[in-house]
Chains A and B, each alone.
Chain A
Amino acid sequence: MNTAYNFAFFDEGSKREIRRATLKAIAIPGYQVPFASREMPIGRGWGTGGLQLTLSLIGKNDVLKVIDQGSDESVNAVNIKKLVSDTTGVATTDHTTEATLIQSRHRIPEVPLKKNQILILQVPLPEPLRYYEPSESETKKLHAEKEYSGAWLMLFEQIMKYGSMTTGADHPVLVHDRYVMAPSPIPRFDNPKMHESEALILLGAGREKKVYAVPPYTKVVSLDFEDYPFEPESFLDKHCRLCGSTGVFLDELVDEGTNETFYQCNDTSYCIETLNEVEPFGVK
């Protein structure tokens, strides 16, 4: 642990500010609360919003997991883990069930989250209405008036154009029947995990200086139409080449030698744990 820094990097004043904003975010599910985002020693767009949330929450007894697009080992995840553990001394883990704080970019882990865990999602673009309304003051007004016809129109235009909702990641959701919210660029596959989640979910956008929240047991509905219901990515009849899992989010890969398409768990720690259950090796 590097004692030249404050515990958890931040000074206490910065923590207080984001803590006040976070409590308001929990009290108003899906509403984006502004906060004074600080400069961080990692590049913007590398998860500074999520990192600031993590630093404001973390205590000596926490166990931290950081994942980037399903991987604990990516440079981004490793850098964030190193910064946090260097300034706090907390333990880190790859095992989802062992973690008390999970900071993630682009995924919600496959292992269902529990009560004693907080999921922190990194958000590049917190404003789901930004695609059709560039002005912040206008989007604030639209949220205030619960005027979301533009969001539906956007989805409708995609259906007209492509015959289906091709939103890919970051498919907008309606939270507690009140706010349309960007779930961050998680695949549609992960959207249903936000509904009535056992764990608190906090979302942080560093560049846009917003925090928002989905409390546990909160209604989260992906926007859709009666004729075109919301559909998560389907991996029917497909399984992970490594661990054999089905019903998880799979990455499609191509074998360069044979040109054959195969699939692999996107959540690498889940994949390794499943493999170890099947074929135990080493000391557990």
Chain B
Amino acid sequence: MTLDIVHDLQSVYRKLVDSTSRPGLISDLRKEAALVEEEDQKGCSASLLLLALTLFDQEVSFKVFSKQADSVSKTINQLTYAKPTEAKKADFLLILQDAEKGSLEEAIINAKAGTLKNPHTSAFIFVEVESVTNGEALLLKGPGIHSTELVHLDINENWVESRQEKNKEYPLGIDMIFIDQHHQLLSLPRTTQISRNRVMG
């Protein structure tokens, strides 16, 4: 079995639409991820590669944060023709699990936030994490959410505060997508307000 770039990527896209329009809704990419060939991955998770295949082409640029950034960038470029570039210019920033500590915050700080006239010229940040179903409890509010949504995210950085700072001048901001080891996807567009939930629910 190999990945069908028409039907399997359509399926990935619809899950992206579902999760982005309903922040907190976790999408399962296991079925599609299982079809990604091992040899194509080169240090990048199958599900992150799926997102790249779904959205990247020669019209977009990206930046990889990883110990193997060069080889992963090369792979993504060869598979999608998207252009590697620096963080401040990239349309997509990819933070792999082996990235140095602080990479996520660095990415958030440097990412394009768009302009008031063109807020869509902002960056997407894709983050590989251990789990999007275990870890710190975060309470979500905003469009797409019926009152509130509780998610658990395992990230060892002060990214929530950096993100809040980055997104404080809405509609400027960044949109984030988290992918975990089990190919589960969580999307947090700029409109989602996050508060750390100290009380265990």
Contact = CB atoms under 8 A, between A and B. Distances in A.
Contacts, number: 98
B153 interface: no
B167 to A, nearest CB: 11
A21 interface: yes
Interface string A109-152: 00000000010000000000000000000001101110000000
B54 A215 contact: no
Given A7-B7, A21-B120, A59-B10, A26 B21 contact: yes
A19 B9 CA distance: 11
B47 interface: no
A145 B119 CA distance: 12
A209 interface: no
A174 to B, nearest CB: 13
A29 B120 contact: no
Contact of B175 (A22, A23, A33): A23
A200 B187 CA distance: 15
Interface size class, chain B:
35 or more
B146 interface: yes
B157 to A, nearest CB: 22
A178 interface: yes
Contacts of A27: 20, 175, 189-191
A275 interface: no
B55 A20 contact: yes
Contact of B54 (A8, A19, A34): A19
Contacts of B56: 16
B159 interface: no
Interface string A74-117: 00000000000000000000000000000000000000000000
Interface string B1-19: 0000111011101101100
B170 A16 contact: no
Chain B interface, >50% SS class: loop
B144 A217 contact: yes
B17 A216 contact: no
A128 B6 CA distance: 36
B193 to A, nearest CB: 12
A164 interface: no
Contacts of B39: none
Among B17, B116, B117, B190: residue with most chain A CB under 10 A: B17
Contact of B144 (A20, A143, A216): A216
A20 B54 CA distance: 9
Contact of A140 (B9, B60, B117): B117
A24 interface: yes
A59 B144 contact: no
- Kindly list the 5 A-B residue pairs having the minimum CB-CB distance in the complex, ordered from nearest: A27-B189, A144-B116, A218-B143, A24-B120, A215-B144
Interface of B: 5-7, 9-11, 13-14, 16-17, 20-22, 54-57, 59-60, 115-120, 122, 124, 143-146, 170-171, 175, 189-191
30 contacts: A7-B7, A19-B54, A19-B55, A20-B55, A20-B60, A23-B124, A24-B122, A25-B120, A26-B20, A26-B144, A26-B189, A27-B175, A27-B191, A28-B119, A28-B190, A31-B119, A57-B13, A57-B17, A58-B10, A59-B11, A140-B118, A145-B116, A176-B143, A176-B191, A200-B17, A215-B143, A216-B143, A217-B144, A217-B146, A218-B143
